[in-house]
Structure 1
Amino acid sequence: MLSRLPLGYCANVHPAQTFADLLGGLDRYTVPVMRRIGRPLAAGLWLARPVVDEVLAIPDGIARLAAEVKARGLTVHTLNAFPYGDFHAARVKERVYLPDWTTAERLAYTERCAAVLAGLLPDGGEGSISTLPIGFKGFDSPPGFLQAAERLTDCALTLARIADDTGRLIRLAIEPEPFCLLETTEETTAFFHVLWEVARARGAERAVRQHVGVCYDVCHQAVEFEDPAACVAALDRAGVRVNKVQVSCAVELSNPGGAGREALRQFVEPRYLHQVFARLRDGRTVGVVDLTDEFLNAPGPEFEAAEVWRVHFHVPVDAQRIGPLETTRTALVPALAAIAALSYAPHIEVETYTWSVLPGDGASDLVTGLAKEIDATQKLMNDLT
């Protein structure tokens, strides 16, 4: 079923390295977006490590944040705890995957975010926290599944204690992403079997199953050329709960040999990683870790012969096309329909964090752009109910 909570967007689109920055983003963008759409709005907060530390260091900091959110007429049901540090630095790229889930730093940060979220939820409310897919495959020493499973089990036990103490249920949502340890649905379900085995050995399987699931980012799985209905059905069949859905679109190039490839060059930028996948005519997929000028100049024979490319560059979800390029917006309806067919309602938010690096003047009016995205997504959801 689809969530009946107010739809919102992920605030990782706003730079925020202090408590004041966080509130400033709500005032400058989130509240004006709510006024523009004319209905309640949920704030999908991103709490970078310095921000969550500051909130917890302030006397009654959680209560103060809750009061600030309420005073603005907003609600909070989900957090993004994927980016740990400065997500708006000049160069983020693969650093966004650090620290990974084998580290004490990632565990402590996530638990601190959960403590804050528990204070923002209503009595008896349910919350979710999205997080990275264990780590990045491209590092010289990729993180190990068993150690990550131990950390995630520790986190689940902490979330279970929070539920016992506060009556507020918080679920962690691991977000598969291209070129990460968990990128495909098959890899994700395989990891959860490892996680459940580790948890079972510690007598914590119930806590893990209740508190740890996935964040289904529609852009990420579309870049992998996964069918949305099959993806969600496979997770459900395997017993992996979808705790959060991020409504997002990727860039698509349906004729790599035409003029559209040159149009892709305007999406080459130094801040974020933009993985590229191509579907070959025999159905296989190939990928490269980032969209660069070097790649566009010489993509190689498989990419040259491919029928379509998809690029992990989040673009506004209301956009069918961007110049000669298409988007994966057609994946949104089957993705939301598959979510609607579940017996429970994951949290849903729009996540286009790339407004500041969109080519041209795309980021000139962020409030208008975010409002259009939310309205477009709400219409898609309304049409399914």
Structure 2
Amino acid sequence: MRQLTYCSNIHPGESWQDVLDNLESHGLSVKQQVSPNAAFPLGLRIAQQASMELDEQKIAEFRAWCEQHNCYLLTINGFPYGTFHDAPVKAAVYEPDWRTQARVSYTQQLGDLAVALATRTSTISISTVPIAFKAGFAESDWPLVRANLLAVLEHLQALHQRSGILVRLALEPEPCCVLETIEETLEFFARMNFPVHLQNYIGICFDCCHQAVEFETAAEVLARLRAANITIAKVQVSSALRAQGDEIAQLMQFNEPVYLHQAVAKNASGLQRFSDLPQLQTALDAGEQFDECRVHFHVPIFIDHLGACGTTQFFLRDFLPLLDKSIPLEVETYSFKNLPAHLRDYPLDVSIARELQWVNQLLDHNN
């Protein structure tokens, strides 16, 4: 059975009460629109603050809430540690990274919560930082990264043995990070050479926006991951900006101060990467010319062209029908309110439901 949800990181809030309020104010409305009579999986962003606020009573109340509303926890977004909305995040979103004990402790706590909050599924994923932001990462950091990851994988194995619930860590490749391309992801797993008994506890969160920005090809990357026996713990269904020719100049209208909008531009000499839109603008001002540019800006997946430029919706059309139905899908368009005003015409819950309906229609059509 295919499981499809949306990531609650679209809603601001770092506390557990914020999580509950967002479920009440948006999550139930989305469920009513897309899954009124069937159980609805939840993709919860649980910030570090929220993870420390949960106690036995709150856990019991959440489990009861799930039963009351026919919902269940499917996946946790454990990527952003702290504030994710309404204040500049940029490269700080990767901190603390996998060189720190803080990231280890937070992720172990999320593993504990995944087991405690689970009601109807025996497998839950936790998406996390792609090791670190690439700038400032050194070759000498790898032993510490491996030790920290092993500490989490051993924790997840102990949870599995005790509870019967498999919690899987899902590293999420992203532009300008240590894990960026699928090639780097394959090299990472080869380098880490995790013990066989721990390999089932780690995989990747495949974010379609991120890999489309890298100009990767859907069928090829999926084939390479399968050949390397790397588990796709979940797919984040997302779409990026895509500008061709004269459209490239229009990308600057999407420059905003909260999130990092990495760009990858292509011309006859190959791919050129920029850590944010202002760096791309500097290159354009210097006279550099590109045939196409793709930008890490999560735009509504039901839109093929935004007027000023296009999107990478084509990647979703190519990629999603190739997936095994057992892989959970999580729509992740967290930047709705950062879009230009004309793209924010609908109430948020309606837009989220439209995205989920678009995925269902695409996959039903390809069955």
- TM-score band by shorter chain is over 0.9
- Please say if 1:335 is aligned against 2:335: no
Equivalent residue for 2:130, pick from 106, 110, 133: 133
Residue in 2 aligned with 1:42?
Answer: 41
Rounded to whole Å, the distance in 2 between the matches of 1:381 and 1:12 is 24
Rounded to whole Å, the distance in 1 between the matches of 2:89 and 2:139 is 18
1:53–1:45: structure 2 CA closer, same or farther, 3 Å change rule? same
How many angstroms does 1:19 deviate by?
1.6
Contact 2:47 2:80 in 1 (8 A): yes
TM-score by length of 2: 0.94
Deviations 1:194-253 (A, max 9, x none): 222xx44xxxx321x111011110100000000011111111111211111000000000
Identity level (%): 34
- Please say if 1:312 is aligned against 2:296: yes
Contact 1:45 1:76 in 2 (8 A): yes
RMSD of aligned residue pairs (Cα, Å): 1.9
TM-score by length of 1: 0.90
Rounded to whole Å, the distance in 2 between the matches of 1:253 and 1:231 is 22
How many angstroms does 1:17 deviate by?
1.5
Residue in 2 aligned with 1:296?
Answer: 281
Rounded to whole Å, the distance in 1 between the matches of 2:71 and 2:59 is 15
**Count of paired positions:** 364
- Please say if 1:357 is aligned against 2:356: no
Contact 2:205 2:236 in 1 (8 A): yes
Equivalent residue for 1:278, pick from 247, 265, 268: 265
Rounded to whole Å, the distance in 1 between the matches of 2:76 and 2:222 is 22
In structure 1, runs of 5+ residues without a counterpart are none
Residue in 2 aligned with 1:371?
Answer: 353
How many angstroms does 1:141 deviate by?
6.0
Residue in 1 aligned with 2:50?
Answer: 51
Contact 1:159 1:170 in 2 (8 A): yes
Contact 1:81 1:131 in 2 (8 A): yes
Residue in 2 aligned with 1:29?
Answer: 26
Contact 1:66 1:120 in 2 (8 A): yes
Deviates more, 1:115-124 or 1:307-316: 115-124
Deviations 1:63-90 (A, max 9, x none): 2222223333322111100001011141
How many angstroms does 1:359 deviate by?
1.2
1:118–1:59: structure 2 CA closer, same or farther, 3 Å change rule? closer
Rounded to whole Å, the distance in 2 between the matches of 1:143 and 1:370 is 42
SS at 2:323 equivalent:
helix
Superposition pairs of residues 199-348 of structure 1, within 5 angstroms: 199-200=194-195, 205-207=196-198, 209-255=199-245, 258=246, 260-282=247-269, 284-292=270-278, 295-296=280-281, 298-299=283-284, 304-340=288-324, 345-348=326-329
Deviations 1:93-148 (A, max 9, x none): 00000001121110111111111111232366111111110000123768822211
Rounded to whole Å, the distance in 1 between the matches of 2:283 and 2:28 is 45
Rounded to whole Å, the distance in 2 between the matches of 1:299 and 1:145 is 36
Contact 1:247 1:348 in 2 (8 A): yes
Contact 1:245 1:347 in 2 (8 A): yes
SS at 1:369 equivalent:
helix
Equivalent AA in structure 2 for residue 275 of structure 1:
Q
Equivalent AA in structure 2 for residue 220 of structure 1:
H
Residue in 2 aligned with 1:71?
Answer: 68
SS at 2:72 equivalent:
coil
- Please say if 1:383 is aligned against 2:343: no
